Structures are given as structure tokens and as C-alpha cells.
Structure 1
């Protein structure tokens, strides 16, 4: 092969792509980023983390206004201004996009705008956004093209019309009622937003449990809390068809062996996402795939030793911090493969795997679930409810609980879950504890200010430490 154009080429300019390129360039690799989207930023900035959380904040503030009377306050919720909510969201997204654009255009790497496809294991053909094509060769590659909405065939859905999560995030219209198809994190966050601003919400979930990746008690607590807020959640269903109804759109499905129908002004399609890899011609490069996803090992290699993947294209977790860590590891491993870094290949470590859902109440978890922990360890578990926690009562947030999972013999914390107020913040105390391989005994020793939400972790920690030596070392 003739002298390649680059040492390392990243396909995708989102959070993972930028992190991988910046790491590689910092190690002295001649690097390029290829981004094919008309907008720059990646999923998290454009259609994921930031826009969705901006909308959710509006929904949850609306909920607070309606609950003002519980706190002795006189306030009246007079509805939501969809245009103003969208403008606020667009302002933030625009600022984040501009920052990412500056990072990509001023980085110590080339930035190429176009759609890339593999010709062979060392060559890409790039259809440039401003017209024409360009051939790009490299010694190593990182695939970080993110994900897209995964479509499932539902009779009548296309003809009747629907919104995806992408559509909803930039729509100023707030329907009086919505049917949300799906019970995963995206679906439930959308349901939480619409319930917050006053829409009537029905969630239709195929399996018996919402958030099927969580423990049953976690999903059950969230179901109870959302239903208390007025959201109807129908589980264990099978979608049959969609059609125009009397005043809106009607979804037909079976539930417990009986056909049902739910009518609403709008249908929100939230049945999952899939890796955005269909146009990359991965077979030409020998990249390993399975079930429309790239298969990457713990070194982030995905077939050939010089091709790596990170983020939603390969999983196992579709979260931005995990994607960034994978990309940085991939870049360093590429440098090692090219003999620019003299050390052993790194492996991605998912011991501190994080998960959060920004519903109201929130859900968060770290480490092993209860089911996974039981498969690998002899464990002990302790839980404590927010309904018996002083600060939660004052806060007016008493649904949910915290749970600690520890090794039975050593009491090392293996995992934790939280359903309740500020769960996405509270979980990080356990992330830090697990990073240092702390035991429940260690956590029980740590002073917590009273009254605080974080203080709740001391109760399951003390239960798990019961009989252990609590004298400071």
C-alpha cells in the first residue's frame, strides 16, 4: 500500500468521535474526522441528552406549579407555551452545536464534511457535502456514527402518521393527549414531559416490565409513581394496527388476551434505536457485525486489528460517557497498534456501568443489577424507602427507594439502584465508592449532613454493615 493519507481516521463527529480524534492527535497521530451530518454535534447534542433534558425541565417545573398547594403556596398552572419551550431548547442546542463545531474545526486534526463508506480495509470513499467525492486512506479507523430510530412494522402507522422522538423534540405543538409506543428510557422520558405539561398520556409496552434492563422492583416503583401522576401504563401487549379515530389517532393492541384500543391526538413512536451503520459498507473492510450492530471486543476492535468502534454503533451501553471512554481507549489502542505508544492494549471496564432515566421520579443505577450479581456472587441486599426519609418528606418526593448490593463475605459494594428525587445525582456517591472498591462498612462510616437526600444511603449501608466492625481504621 502507498503512503496513507492519515494514521487515524474517525468516522462520526459526535461526542465519541471528537474524543477519539482529540486523543489520537494528542498522541501524535495524523488524524482526520469525517462527519456527514448537515448539523454538527452528534446525537447527544442534537437529538438526545441536551434537548430532551431541556424539555423535561419545563415539564417538571409545570408539575411543581400544579403541586404548589401542597406546600402552602397559591399558584395556578395556566398551561405551557410550546413555542417558548422550543425556543429555549433551540437556544441551548445552538450553543452546544457551536461549541462542538469550534472544537472540530480548530482541533489538531483535519475535519472533512461528507458521508464515508469503506472501499477496503484501509480506504474510504467520501461523498462530500459540498459536492464531489474524495478518497481517504488510513492505517487505522474509529467508527463512531451513533444511532438512529429503529422502525418496526405496525400496520397503519405510516398512513395514520406519528412522531418519533426526533420529531417530538423540535415540535412546538403540545397535544392534548398522546399514546407513547414503548416502555424504555426514551419513551418514559417523553411520557413524563407530556404528563408534566398537562397532556393525557398512555404508555403501551410490549413486555411485562417497563425499563426491562432494570430489576423488577426498580421498574415496579417507577410504574407506581408514574401511574400516581396520571400516566396510564399498559404492559404485556402486542400492537395490532393504527388507524384514524373519531378525534385523533387510534392504536389497537391486545392486552391479557383481549383487544383494546386507545385514542389520542398524537402517537409517539419510541420503540428503540439502532446503530447508524447501514451506509458504511462495513463488509468491504471485514468489520464484524451481528443483528445490525458492530461487534467490538474489550479493546474496541471490531474485526481487523486496525479498525475500532465506539458508542451506540457497538454498545453495550447507549450513553455518552461510556462512548467517550470507549473512543479514548480505541485511540490509545490504535496508537499501540501503530507502534506509537509502548504499552499493553487497554480494555474497556464496565464495572462502573451507569444508567439514568430523567423521569419524575428519576431512576439511576450503577454496577451489577440484582439479577446479574446473583449469577456471579453470593450477595446481600439492603433497601430503604424515600417514604421514610425525612428530607424526602419535606421535599414532597416519597415514591421509590435506594438499594445497595454487596458481596456477602467481603461486603464490597457491587451495585446500587435508586428510584426517587434527584436519583441521577445521588447515584454518583455510590459510583465514587465503587471506584475505590469501598465496602458497605466504609460507606456507613462516612458522615452525611442532616437533613439531605444523600443521607438516605447510610441506612442500607448500616444494615449491610450490621455486625461488622464500624470503628474507623
Structure 2
């Protein structure tokens, strides 16, 4: 049995920097990782998918460039080269993180699966064989989430894909059926359509992107349908079965059943926390009905000196939120501060093309709360930069407090939508009112300059 001052379980975007910071502060620290350093983001999330999305955008641009007067007679998608580039990027990022850990004094890295075997005690089943028992004064849990597979008759008899396994494909699917229309499903669906697959996206609800405003969701549907992506709403999979080299899916819509034949199925219906094998019941750490670890605004669990960071605690499942969790813990535990997650802004970007950047409150949320609001909207076909670059798809939208003129939230569906959204986020952080942006001087012609026009729509 070996004792540490601190043990971090999971090397995601919170666990890795936290373990280094703890060790750097003089605490004898151990980091436990059962798979690869970097967690989902580096290995099968943000980095690899955005690398492949860049390749998909390049393929789309071949057709789009005809509108700009640049004609390409012939091209083909070298999927093996795309995968190699993706893998090279992952290895480089993972290797950099590994080296950072190895170079940190006072930090031990153990590859294996951690299970609590007592209060402040874990047993680690090492990947290379054997077990070790470790104790610590403080524990930090950063085990994240994994894809959740819905109960569908026959699902266990087919080789379905998840957001992890789809990255291991060696060839482009002939027909990819995507179950779920969240950001994972939409990103992969558009990506593989651009690589050459036939793509069908199926959603159980009445529309896609239910957490977004309806006009934004409708605009996304329009964009995807322009690329010949089939979108089925109010539709659920009843059963699946092998059929030769393909898969037959029985679906139900409005009480009627029919069948869809596809070559591959991507399960993108949600994710679940990786807490089951932790045996948290031995620690006094409570979880909710879905298995997420309960925390307060300081990320403290229901057990003293045990903290949870990142996706495993529920709430917004984004890399940047995990990293901010690390900052909260670092300030409170190491610097003895009083940081809190309460009221923090949660930006995110869905990397479809054009991007959907989001910050703060939607119009539907504001109206549900009965707030007195102003809503500014502008279509990109009236944005100078969009017209000049030949891509006028999408729109921009902002929700404003009618009395204070403060920006409550924004949705930017546009080329570089995430970057434009960040400008509005900074305005929210600095309490900059919409009229100051409306009258601001921005470089012409940039995308952000269109924020002048966005807010001028309120004055017309």
C-alpha cells in the first residue's frame, strides 16, 4: 500500500493539468489513467473529429469553389490519408501531454482501472498485470463519459458504431444511418456525406436541436438538406437486423412502421458517466439517478476531500468546462481561494459547417422565464463578408435585456460562427451593451463587423 497526498483518477482536460499543478505545489501526487492520456478530447473527441471535419470542408469546397470561378475537373477523397493525418495529430497531442506528465517531479503515472476499495483507498488493476493499493488525503475524479447505447431489439447482434469506433473505420460507409441529432450526430453526418456516404439522420423528437431556438434549428435543417442529407424526425428505431452485408432497421413514425436499409449505424443518442466501476458506494460519494456524481458549486462531492471534475459530474459536457473545473479546484484547493462554478458562462460551438456558436440564453429560454427582451436577427445573405466569400448560409441572433441593454445570449450560425460568438461572449463578460457594439468601429470587411448590422436591426 502506498500513500499519496493527492490522487487524480482520469487524465482528461481537467485531470492532466490538475495532477501537474498539485505535484508542482509540493503534494505527492498520483495520476491513474485506464486508457490514454488526454481523455476523450485528445483521443476520440475534439482533436480527431475536427481534423477530419477540416478534410470534409476541403472536399465540400471543391464543389463550392465553382461558384467562385475556380473549377476542378477531378478529385477524390483519400480516406486513408485523412485517417493517417487524424492519427498523427492525436499521437502528437497525446505524446506532448505524456511528456509533460513524465517531466513533472512529484507525480507518478499509473496505467490501470481504479476502484475504491475503502474510504480514501483505491485498488488499481494495472494494464500490464497485477494490482496496487493506493491511499490519499484527497481524491479528484475525472473519469468522464462514454457513449450510451439505447435498448433496440437486435442491437447487440450488429456491429454498430459509436463516436469512438467510427474514428477507426478504414473505408467510407455506403449509407450511414445516424441515430440522434445532437452535435455529435450532426457533425459526423455532415462529415461523411462530404466524404461520399449517403447519410440519414434520425431523431425521436419533433425537431433536431431542441435546446436551440426553432429558427436556428430550421436554418440548420435547410443547410443539411441542401447537401442531400435526409433528416427524419418523430422517428425511432424499433429493431435492427443483419441483411447480407447491410443492416435492416425497422423504424416507427406516427404509429406506422417501415424499414430502412443501410451499411452502417452510428449511435449518437447520448452519453453516460463512467462511474459504475469506481464503486463509489464505498466512499460516501453520492450519484444521481443517471450515475453522475453530485457536487456543489465548488465541485466538492458528498464525501470530504473528494472532488469531481468534468463530464462525470453532469452538466455541460465540454472540454473547456472541464478545464475551467480544473481552474476552480486549483484556486480553492491549492491557493485556498473561494472560486465557484455558479453563474459561469457556458459557450460552445457545434462544428457543423457553417459553425453554430452559442453563448448564454436562447430566445425560448428567455420567454419561458417571462423576461422582457429584444431579439436581434440577421440573415447572412445581407452580411458583406459572407457575400464576398460566397457563403451566405445561416444567420446570427442575439437576445437582449430590454431595460439594461445587456446581451443575454447569442446564436451565430455562420462561417467562423464560434469566433463571432466569442466576441459577444466577451461583451457579456465586460457588461458591454448592445448599442455600444452597434456603434462600434470594426475592421471592414470582417465577419465581426456584421455585429453592427445585427444590432441595427433593433433600431429599424
TM tier relative to shorter chain: over 0.9
Instruction: Give the Cα–Cα distance (whole angstroms) in 2 for the partners of residues 115 and 327 of structure 1.
Output: 22
Task: Say if 2:64 is the partner of 1:52.
Answer: no
- State whether residues 16 and 38 of structure 2, in contact with CA within 8 Å, keep that contact through their aligned partners in structure 1: no
Match of 1:404 among 393, 398, 403: 398
Residues 154-303 of structure 1 correspond to what in structure 2 (within 5 A)? 154-245=152-243, 248-290=246-288, 291-303=290-302
Instruction: Give the Cα–Cα distance (whole angstroms) in 2 for the partners of residues 52 and 211 of structure 1.
Output: 20
Give 2:86's aligned residue.
Answer: 89
Give 1:354's aligned residue.
Answer: 347
Instruction: Give the Cα–Cα distance (whole angstroms) in 2 for the partners of residues 237 and 412 of structure 1.
Output: 40
Residue 350 of structure 1 deviates from its aligned partner by 4.6
Give 1:418's aligned residue.
Answer: 412
Q: SS of the counterpart of 1:399?
A: coil
Change (3 A) 1:151 1:350: farther
Q: SS of the counterpart of 1:213?
A: coil
Instruction: Give the Cα–Cα distance (whole angstroms) in 1 for the partners of residues 283 and 412 of structure 2.
Output: 43
Residue 351 of structure 1 deviates from its aligned partner by 3.5
Residue 386 of structure 1 deviates from its aligned partner by 0.4
**Residues 226-268 of structure 1 deviation map (CA, whole Å, 9 limit, x = unaligned):** 0111101001112111123476222221123322322222212
**Residues 300-356 of structure 1 deviation map (CA, whole Å, 9 limit, x = unaligned):** 112113111111101311111100111221233334xxxxx444x321145321121
Residue 56 of structure 1 deviates from its aligned partner by 0.8
TM-score by length of 2: 0.95
TM-score by length of 1: 0.92
**Residues 362-403 of structure 1 deviation map (CA, whole Å, 9 limit, x = unaligned):** 111011222333317322111111022122122222221111
Runs of 4+ displaced beyond 4 Å = none
In structure 2, list runs of 5 or more residues that go unmatched: none
Change (3 A) 1:107 1:115: same
Instruction: Give the Cα–Cα distance (whole angstroms) in 2 for the partners of residues 247 and 114 of structure 1.
Output: 37
Change (3 A) 1:112 1:245: closer
- Of the structure 1 ranges 13-22 and 183-192, higher mean CA displacement relative to structure 2 is found in 13-22
Q: SS of the counterpart of 1:268?
A: strand
- Of the structure 1 ranges 62-71 and 208-217, higher mean CA displacement relative to structure 2 is found in 208-217
Residues 363-374 of structure 1 correspond to what in structure 2 (within 5 A)? 363-374=356-367
Give 2:456's aligned residue.
Answer: 462
Q: SS of the counterpart of 2:238?
A: strand
Instruction: Give the Cα–Cα distance (whole angstroms) in 1 for the partners of residues 55 and 45 of structure 2.
Output: 16
In structure 1, list runs of 5 or more residues that go unmatched: 336-340, 468-473
- State whether residues 288 and 295 of structure 1, in contact with CA within 8 Å, keep that contact through their aligned partners in structure 2: yes
Instruction: Give the Cα–Cα distance (whole angstroms) in 2 for the partners of residues 177 and 342 of structure 1.
Output: 55
Q: SS of the counterpart of 1:202?
A: strand
Instruction: Give the Cα–Cα distance (whole angstroms) in 2 for the partners of residues 359 and 188 of structure 1.
Output: 7
- State whether residues 24 and 104 of structure 2, in contact with CA within 8 Å, keep that contact through their aligned partners in structure 1: no
Instruction: Give the Cα–Cα distance (whole angstroms) in 2 for the partners of residues 263 and 143 of structure 1.
Output: 42
Residue 124 of structure 1 deviates from its aligned partner by 1.2
Task: Say if 2:386 is the partner of 1:387.
Answer: no
- State whether residues 165 and 269 of structure 1, in contact with CA within 8 Å, keep that contact through their aligned partners in structure 2: yes
Q: SS of the counterpart of 1:76?
A: coil
Residue 17 of structure 1 deviates from its aligned partner by 0.3
- State whether residues 385 and 446 of structure 2, in contact with CA within 8 Å, keep that contact through their aligned partners in structure 1: yes
Change (3 A) 1:286 1:258: same
Instruction: Give the Cα–Cα distance (whole angstroms) in 2 for the partners of residues 342 and 243 of structure 1.
Output: 57
Instruction: Give the Cα–Cα distance (whole angstroms) in 2 for the partners of residues 117 and 236 of structure 1.
Output: 41
Residues 131-170 of structure 1 correspond to what in structure 2 (within 5 A)? 131-170=129-168
Instruction: Give the Cα–Cα distance (whole angstroms) in 1 for the partners of residues 336 and 61 of structure 2.
Output: 55
Residue 70 of structure 1 deviates from its aligned partner by 1.1
Q: SS of the counterpart of 2:171?
A: coil
Q: CA RMSD in A?
A: 1.9
Residue 280 of structure 1 deviates from its aligned partner by 0.5
**Residues 127-168 of structure 1 deviation map (CA, whole Å, 9 limit, x = unaligned):** 222322222111111100111111111112232322222111
Give 2:304's aligned residue.
Answer: 305
- Of the structure 1 ranges 303-312 and 182-191, higher mean CA displacement relative to structure 2 is found in 303-312
Instruction: Give the Cα–Cα distance (whole angstroms) in 1 for the partners of residues 98 and 455 of structure 2.
Output: 45
Give 1:471's aligned residue.
Answer: none
Task: Say if 2:315 is the partner of 1:316.
Answer: yes
Change (3 A) 1:77 1:53: farther
Give the length in aligned residue pairs. Answer: 457
- State whether residues 22 and 29 of structure 2, in contact with CA within 8 Å, keep that contact through their aligned partners in structure 1: yes
Give 1:470's aligned residue.
Answer: none
